[in-house]
Structure 1
C-alpha cells in the first residue's frame, strides 16, 4: 500500500501466495511489521496437528522467512555452545514423535545434512559436532517435514574459539568400574581444583592442581581410594568458575 492509499503497482491483481502447502488454513491475522510490510499468521494442520504458522511479506510482496510459513511452536533452540574442537547443540519440542534433519553450513558454502535427530526423554534434540575448525563460523538449523514440504527452524550461528578453555569431560569411562580417570581442560596455566562430590554435595575426594599448564589433561582422581558404587558429581574450579559433570561408579 502506497502513502496515497493506492495498492503498490508491484503487486499482482490477485495478490501473492504466502503458503502453497497442501491442506486448508484458517483464522488469518495480519499486523504491520513497522517497515512497510506485514506479518501474517494462520492456523495450519498440514502436519496432522493444527499449529500457528507465520510469514513476513515486504513492501514489494516478497517473503523473507521460510517458504510456506514458519511455526515457532513446533520447535525452538534450547542451547548452543562452541568450544575448541566441538559445538554442542540442543533444541526443544513438545512433539515426542518429531523427527528432524540437522543441517550445517559454513560461510560461503551450501547447507549440508549431518544427521537425523529425535527428542530424548526431556523433549531435547541434541547433537555434538566435533568436525569443526578453530576460527571458522558455522550455521546450524533443523528441517522438519510437513507433508512434502520441509520447514527450517531453530537456526543458529557459532564461531569456534581457537584458544584453550575451561572444560570438564568427566570420567573415562563413565560409569567407571575401577579407576576414576578424569579428562579436563584448563583455560590458562595456574592453580585449579578437581573434586568428587556425593549426591548430598559432600566432598569425597579433592585434588589441588598446581603448576598445571593450559590445555587438555587426564588424571586418575581416585588413585588408592575405594568408593561405594553410585552417582557422584565431578567438579572443576579455576579462577572462581566451576564446571560439573555427573560421574557414576560401578563395581
Structure 2
C-alpha cells in the first residue's frame, strides 16, 4: 500500500474513533480562491442512511439535541411507545462513532401520568444534559425539569422537579444554560382561561435541581399577550430574551429584555422595543453578539401585508438599537419559512438562514443564507446565497457554525419523482461558497419521508444531524442520526505527521 493509501486509512480510523482534530486548522487559499483543496467534499461518518437510535413502537417526536462534549450527541424527545401514561420523555446518547451508549431505544426522563410535551435540552457542561418540558400531570400545564449525567442516570427527583406552581397554565418557552451546570427556565403564564392575557416569567435552577431565585422573576407584565419567547446566554452569566408582543392594540411587535444572573432586569421595565413597525412582526431565532447584546431575527409583513420578509436587528449591551433601521436580509421574495436559524459567525456577526419560494426562478422553495457583520453590512453580496438553486422544495433549514466564519446547513429536501423527503447537508465557507459538490451530502436518501432535521456541531469541523424517519412505519416515525464531516480538513495534519511534509494548513490567529 502506498503512503497516500496508508494516510487515508489512518484518517478514517482516527475519525471513526472520534479522535480530536484541532478545529482551528484551516487550508490556505487554493486555485479557485475558496480556502479549500479543489477536491474538498463532505463525508458521512456513520452508517449509510443513518443510525437508528430509537425504533420503538409508537410515535417518536422531533429530536432535541445537545452536545455531549466528546464528539457525540444527546437527543431528547417525546415518545408514545406506551399508552398507559400518555406521552413520555426519553433520551439517548450517541458517541462520536455513532454508537448508542444508553439503554436500547433510550432512557426514561419522565413517564409520569398524563402527557409530558415540548421538551427542550441543553448540555450541562459535564457530559450530561438538562431537560425541561410541559407537563399535564397536575391537571393543567406546569413545567418540570430533569438532569441526566453522562451515563443516562437521572440526578434529580424521579420524573423531574416542578419549576412552576399555582393554578395558572404555564408553557415552556426556553431553556438557557447558566454557565454553572444549571439553567434559566423561561415560560409563558396564561392567567386567564381564554389565554388572551399572557405574561413571561423565569426561574434559575441550580446544578443540583434547586431554585436559586426565591420566587420566579417577572420578565414582563405588559397588557395583552407576550408569547413565542426566544432566549440566549448574554455571556456574563445572565440571559437575553425576545418575544412577540400585543401590548399595542392591533399591532404585533417585538420586545426584548436582559436579566442578570441574580434575576435583575437590566433594560427598561417590560422590555425594550426591537421592532415596532406598524405591521405584523413574528419572532425568529436570536443569538448573542458576544458583547452583551443580541441579534434578533424575525419575519415581517410591512412590504405587502401578505408576503413576509426576513429582518434583523442588533441590540447593544444596554438594550439600544445598534443600527438606525431594521435590516431586511431576505426581501422582495416569497418568504416560505423563516428566518429558520441564526448563528454566530465567530467574528462578531451572524449567519441568517431562511427559505423562499421561486428564489432561483424555478418552481419550488430554496434555502437561502446571508452573513451580516456587527455593523449590519452584508458580507455575502446584496442578495443572500441560494444554497439550493434547483427545482422541487427545500426547506426547514437549520445551521451550526463551522468555526471558520462559515456554516454547516441541513434541510429537508422534498422531491416528487419518486415522492419522498431526504435530509441533505451543505457547508458554506466564510465567503458563502458551497464547499460540497452537487446538491450537498445526503444524511439519508431513501424512499418515503425523513423530516424535521436538527443539528449540532461535532466539535471537529463537522455536524451531527438527527431526524424523524418513517422508513419502518409510514404512520409512526423513528429517530435516526448521521455525522457528516469535512473529511479533507482532517487529512493534512495526519499527512504531515506520516509523510514528513513541511507545508500544510495555515494557522488561525488562535494558534499563532
TM-score w.r.t. structure 2 length?
0.17
Which has the greater radius of gyration? Answer: 1
- RCO higher in 1 or 2 (8 Å CA, sep ≥ 6)? 2
TM-score w.r.t. structure 1 length?
0.27
